């Protein structure tokens, strides 16, 4: 992996992490188009780089995220993150196999795109607009939706926003809760991936060049994600989710075409 490729992937991650378009899927496709050879470091990079983007939530919502008078909010986050932690631990090897498949990404993008075209008609009269109004059951159900995002191309953001709307949350609050839920989820996923990588391939994390690339990628993803979050919330309140549905369908079609032409495998 070159430094230019690190920068490009950092930008792709920062833009796509909080949009309902699948950051992992976009990084897989970007890596394929740039001809990045899949190896242990690249697999690690594609997971760990998400941490930089996720930390932008902590900065942007610092006062809200660290308001320790809202312990009920933290408990609801724990309940919501639990399903992904369990499934991720039990099926990590199978998930890693999915990460190598652009075809999986294309199918998931297409399916999710079609759902986003109609989701706001499916879930109407949504009244929950604050975490104090949501229940632990709401949080757990959103956590089950998040499990779907382990399939590359699904989008953790899309799955949890749709899950939130299915649980009667407004689309604004569903998006905001999705941001908060990303923090413990990705910290756990990154920590587990780094531990597993160090245990099985210690040379990857002992290489100073690799560590420098991880650092730069995370910094770029962090900066770009801060801009993307503010833009997304404004766009979502004004326009809804349908535009992202059309984008996903177009992106899926492009991937199928590139696969047919042999440009990605």
pTM above 0.85, yes or no: yes
Q: Which tens digit of pLDDT belongs to each residue from 116-140?
A: 999 888 888 888 998 889 999 999 9
Q: Which of the listed ranges 47-51, 76-80, 192-196, 232-236 does the model predict with the highest average pLDDT?
A: 76-80
- Note the pLDDT of residue 188: 87
The Cα–Cα gap between 30 and 24 comes to 10
- Note the pLDDT of residue 265: 67
What mean pLDDT do residues 26-44 have?
A: 85
Q: In 10 A of CB 37, how many CB atoms?
A: 8
Answer with the residue of higher pLDDT: 205 or 100.
205
Phi, psi of 70 (to 5 degrees): -105, 55
Answer with the residue of higher pLDDT: 238 or 160.
160
DSSP sequence for 128-174: B-SGGG--HHHHHHHHHHHHGGGSTTS-HHHHHHHHHHHTTB-HHHH
Q: Is the predicted pLDDT of residue 100 greater than 80, yes or no?
A: no
Which residues on adjacent β-strands are paired with residue 128? 169
- Note the pLDDT of residue 230: 85
What mean pLDDT do residues 211-226 have?
A: 95
Find all residues with CB under 8 Å of 162, minimum gap 6, and list them: 20, 115, 116, 119, 145, 174
Answer with the residue of higher pLDDT: 70 or 77.
77
Report the run of H or E that residue 92 belongs to, with start and end: helix 92-98
What average pLDDT is seen over the chain?
Answer: 88
- Note the pLDDT of residue 99: 58
Q: Which tens digit of pLDDT belongs to each residue from 144-162?
A: 999 988 888 889 999 999 9
- Note the pLDDT of residue 145: 95
């Amino acid at each position: 992996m070159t430094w230019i490729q690190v920068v490009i992937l950092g930008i792709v991650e920062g833009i796509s992490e909080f949009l309902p378009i699948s950051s992992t899927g976009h990084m897989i496709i970007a890596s394929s188009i740039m001809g990045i050879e899949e190896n242990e470091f690249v697999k690690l990079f594609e997971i760990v780089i998400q941490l930089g983007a996720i930390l932008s939530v902590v900065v942007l919502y610092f006062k809200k995220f660290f308001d320790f008078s809202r312990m009920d909010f933290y408990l609801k986050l724990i309940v919501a993150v639990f399903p992904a932690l369990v499934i991720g631990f039990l099926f990590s090897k199978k998930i890693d196999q999915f990460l190598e498949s652009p075809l999986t990404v294309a199918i998931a993008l297409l399916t999710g795109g079609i759902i986003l075209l109609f989701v706001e008609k499916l879930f109407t009269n949504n009244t929950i607009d604050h975490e104090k109004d949501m229940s632990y059951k709401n949080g757990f159900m959103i956590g089950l939706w998040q499990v779907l995002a382990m399939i590359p191309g699904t989008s953790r953001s899309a799955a949890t926003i749709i899950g939130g709307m299915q649980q009667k949350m407004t689309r604004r609050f569903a998006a905001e809760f999705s941001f908060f839920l990303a923090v413990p989820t990705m910290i756990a996923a990154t920590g587990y991936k780094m531990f597993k990588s160090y245990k099985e391939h210690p040379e990857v994390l002992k290489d100073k060049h690799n560590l420098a690339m991880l650092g730069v990628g995370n910094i770029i993803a962090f900066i770009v994600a801060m801009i993307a979050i503010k833009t997304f919330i404004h766009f979502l309140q004004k326009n809804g989710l349908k535009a992202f549905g059309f984008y996903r369908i177009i992106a899926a079609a492009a991937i199928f075409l590139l696969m047919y032409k042999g440009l990605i495998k």
